[in-house]
């Protein structure tokens, strides 16, 4: 097979190869490299390519396998599979610090609430008591519990928004 014939076969599929690589590798540069590598692999199999029923399906399969191999290799440990079945068990130090800071901020906001709202918020949203149990503990009607909880949540939400939007206009 000559180069011109090969290019006529591969050019219509090239965009699909790139999009599949981009979806799997999440990096434009890595996807461009993967596209080139896949085309080179297809070129090395140019004599067998006309025997496939669907060249596009074959090219996408080669792309998928190449990208998954790249994700598994040690040199590309910064790339991740973006699939529903992927879960990273490692939490970065930055993410841990951000969660810790957010929890401290939330605790500070909750501590500024009136005592009754703080107690109701703690019982309902942290301890997961139902309204009937809270009304017995606090000796209040369920409607009053709902009102106090709504006010507590609104105050927490407004304070969080104010803190997160500080300095942004």
pTM of the predicted model over 0.75: no
| pLDDT of amino acid 157 | 93
Q: Which residues contact 15 (CB under 8 A, 6 or more apart)?
A: none
Q: Residue 60: which of 7, 22, 16, 23 has the closest Cα? A: 16
Domains along the chain with CATH numbers: 3-76 (1.10.1740.10), 93-164 (1.10.10.10)
Burial class from Cβ neighbours inside 10 Å (0-12, 13-18, 19+) for residue 25 reads buried
Q: Report the C-alpha gap between 130 and 125 in whole angstroms.
A: 10
* pLDDT attached to residue 36: 94
**How many CB atoms are closer than 10 A to CB 63?**
27
pLDDT of amino acid 152? 95
As averages over each run of 10 residues, the pLDDT of the chain (169 residues) reads: 82 88 84 92 84 84 87 60 53 85 89 90 86 88 95 94 79
pLDDT of residue 169: 60
Give every CB contact of residue 166 below 8 A, 6+ residues apart in sequence.
Answer: none
């Amino acid at each position: 097979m000559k180069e011109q014939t090969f290019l006529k076969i591969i050019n219509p599929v090239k965009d699909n190869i790139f999009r599949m690589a981009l979806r799997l590798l999440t990096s434009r540069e890595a996807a461009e490299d993967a596209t080139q590598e896949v085309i080179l692999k297809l070129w090395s199999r140019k004599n067998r390519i006309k025997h496939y029923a669907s060249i596009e399906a074959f090219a996408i399969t080669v792309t998928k396998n190449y990208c998954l191999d790249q994700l598994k290799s040690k040199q590309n440990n910064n790339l991740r599979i973006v699939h529903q079945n992927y879960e990273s068990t490692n939490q970065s130090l930055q993410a841990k610090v951000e969660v810790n800071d957010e929890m401290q901020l939330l605790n500070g906001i909750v501590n500024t609430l009136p005592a009754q709202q703080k107690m109701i918020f703690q019982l309902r949203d942290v301890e997961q008591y139902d309204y009937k149990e809270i009304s017995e503990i606090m000796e209040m009607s369920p409607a009053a519990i709902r009102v106090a909880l709504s006010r507590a949540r609104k105050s927490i939400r407004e304070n969080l928004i104010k803190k997160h939007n500080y300095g942004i206009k």
